Structure 1
Amino acid sequence: MRSNKVGWWLLAPTLAILGIFGILPFIYVLYLAFHQWNPFGANPEQVFNGANNFRRLVFDKEFLLAIWVTLKFGVFAVASEIVIGYFLAQLFMREFPGKGFFRTIHTLPLIVAPIVVGSIWRLMTTPSVGIIPFYANELFGIDINIGRDAGTAFLFTVIMDIWHWTPLVTLTLLAALLSLPKDPFEQAQIDGASRSQIFWHITLPMIRPAILATVFIRLMDALRTVDEVWMLTGGGPGAATRYLGLHIWKVVFPKTDYGYGAAISVIVLYLTLVMCWMLYVGLVAPRNKGN
């Protein structure tokens, strides 16, 4: 009993911080979601309107479009980061000249603030001064203008996210690969298994928890991205890169519709939890059923 009390006292500061900065803001946002509130409007009072904010979401074409482009962004970015990160992790498992230097350079994007990443990519993609449009035109005759072409703008937001967060995936999968026992791989090689068979039947099942955790983290980050995309495209051209985080920002700040913005935030949280649950069921449940 004494040890349990000591444990709870040690956890108390963390639980207090979690409650103050995590649970209480969520409860307040949930409360606002059922109110109409524009503190800068003619009526700055909070007016209870039931589920009207959530009813608006069903018919809000901008919100539905933001969901679609955000899901596309998340799928393309996270899937690419997992694949590239795995191959880079396999590369770092081997010895080659300059490995330490390349590993250091590879992890540098992680220490750069998202808003700085967006600024860097904005400079590199600006048609008049950017290095990417210049060489694309000189070498391949391709005219790149993310302010005019919606597809190009979407593509570069994905590439920017891959550049920024692939090192995190690489480090996570590298740690998982380094922790694997050698006996199953040696036995498989003795039995004459090919590399693809070893990957699908030994490596992938053993690192599945690390992949699942990485996908969860990156998917949640991708669904709430704001800083990088705001600096690179501002959500444009049109609404091509107006992801959910940017959509909420534009509803809350320029339009000062706090109640509706709170409702969108609650729905986005719910969608994130549902997607993570579906991934968990799809990746973990078959494995547990097989066991």
Structure 2
Amino acid sequence: MYSQKLAWLLLAPTLVILFLFGVLPFLYVLYVSFHDWNPFAANPEMVFSGANNFRRVVFDQGFLASLGVTVAFVFFAVLSELVIGYALAQAFMKEFPGKAFFRTIHTLPLIMAPIIVGSVWKLMTTPSIGIIPSLLDSWFGVNLNIGQSAWAAFVITVIMDVWHWTPLVTLTLIAALVSLPADPFEQAQIDGANKRQIFWHITLPMIAPAVVATVFIRLMDALRTVDEVLMLTGGGPGSATRYVGVHIFKEVFPRTNYGYGSAVSVIVLYLTIVACWLLYVSMLAPRKSRKG
């Protein structure tokens, strides 16, 4: 009994913080989503509208378009980060000259604020002064202008996200690889298994929990990306990079449409939870059933 009381006492500060900064804001946003509210209008009072905001979301072509480009952005960004992060994790598991230096340089993007990342990439991709358009033009004769090409803007935002967050994936997978026991790998090599078989049948199943946790983190972050993209493209050209986070931002702040923006936020949160649940079921549930 004493140990249980002590455990709850130690958890109390964390639970209070989660309630104040997690549960209460969500309940407030959920409450606002059932109202029409523009605090800067002539009538700043909330007007109850029931599920009208959610009905608008379902038929809002702008939101549906932003959801489509967001799914594509999340897929390419997270998949690229996993592949590159695993390759770098395997490389950093080996000893080579300058390993500590390269690991330090590799981790530097993580300490940069997203708005700074967007500003840096804005400078690097500006046609008149940016190093990337200059190199592409001199080396390959390619004219890169993310303000005019929707495809180029989308690709650059994916590359920017990969550059910023791949170090997080690398560090997570390094921790998972370091914790693996050596016996299964030695036994597989004795039995004549090649590298591909060792990866699919030993390494990947053993690091699956770490991979899923990493995908959860990156999936949630990528779905709500705002500041980087706003600084780089502003959601353009057109709506090519108007991801759901940018869509919510523009609905809430420039248009001061707080009720509708809250409804979109609730739906995006629900879709994020569903996506994480489906990922968990598809990757970890079969693994647990095999063990059982």
Please report how far the alpha carbon of residue 10 of structure 1 lies from its aligned counterpart in structure 2 after TM superposition.
Answer: 1.9
1:140 paired residue number: 140
Matched, 1:4 2:15: no
Please report how far the alpha carbon of residue 290 of structure 1 lies from its aligned counterpart in structure 2 after TM superposition.
Answer: 2.1
Query: Per-residue CA shift, 1:16-68, capped at 9, x if unaligned?
Result: 11111111111010001100101111221101110000000111000001111
2:220 paired residue number: 220
Matched residue SS, 2:284: helix
Query: Per-residue CA shift, 1:117-137, capped at 9, x if unaligned?
Result: 000000000000000000100
2:105 paired residue number: 105
2:200 paired residue number: 200
Query: Per-residue CA shift, 1:228-285, capped at 9, x if unaligned?
Result: 1111000000000001111001000111010001100000000000000010011012
1:261 paired residue number: 261
Please report how far the alpha carbon of residue 13 of structure 1 lies from its aligned counterpart in structure 2 after TM superposition.
Answer: 1.6
1:241 paired residue number: 241
User: Which runs of structure 2 are paired with 1:1-291 in the superposition (5 Å)?
Assistant: 1-291=1-291
Please report how far the alpha carbon of residue 15 of structure 1 lies from its aligned counterpart in structure 2 after TM superposition.
Answer: 1.2
Name the count of aligned residue pairs: 291
Please report how far the alpha carbon of residue 224 of structure 1 lies from its aligned counterpart in structure 2 after TM superposition.
Answer: 0.3
Which residue identity is paired with 1:107? Answer: T
Distance 2:152 2:241 in 1: 10
Which residue identity is paired with 1:217? Answer: I
Which residue identity is paired with 2:21? Answer: F
Distance 2:256 2:106 in 1: 41
Give the fraction of aligned pairs with identical amino acids, expressed as a percent.
71
After superposing on structure 2, the runs of 4+ consecutive aligned residues of structure 1 that deviate more than 3 Å are: none
Please report how far the alpha carbon of residue 6 of structure 1 lies from its aligned counterpart in structure 2 after TM superposition.
Answer: 2.1
Query: Per-residue CA shift, 1:70-105, capped at 9, x if unaligned?
Result: 111001000000000000000011111111111110
Please report how far the alpha carbon of residue 289 of structure 1 lies from its aligned counterpart in structure 2 after TM superposition.
Answer: 2.4
Distance 1:182 1:5 in 2: 41
Structure 2 unpaired stretches of 5+: none
Q: TM (normalized to structure 2)?
A: 0.98
Structure 1 unpaired stretches of 5+: none
Distance 1:120 1:273 in 2: 32
Matched residue SS, 1:255: coil
Query: Per-residue CA shift, 1:188-214, capped at 9, x if unaligned?
Result: 101111110101000010000000000
Which residue identity is paired with 2:239? Answer: A
Q: TM (normalized to structure 1)?
A: 0.99
Which residue identity is paired with 1:56? Answer: R
Which residue identity is paired with 1:253? Answer: F
Distance 2:114 2:252 in 1: 21
Distance 1:287 1:264 in 2: 35
Which residue identity is paired with 1:154? Answer: F
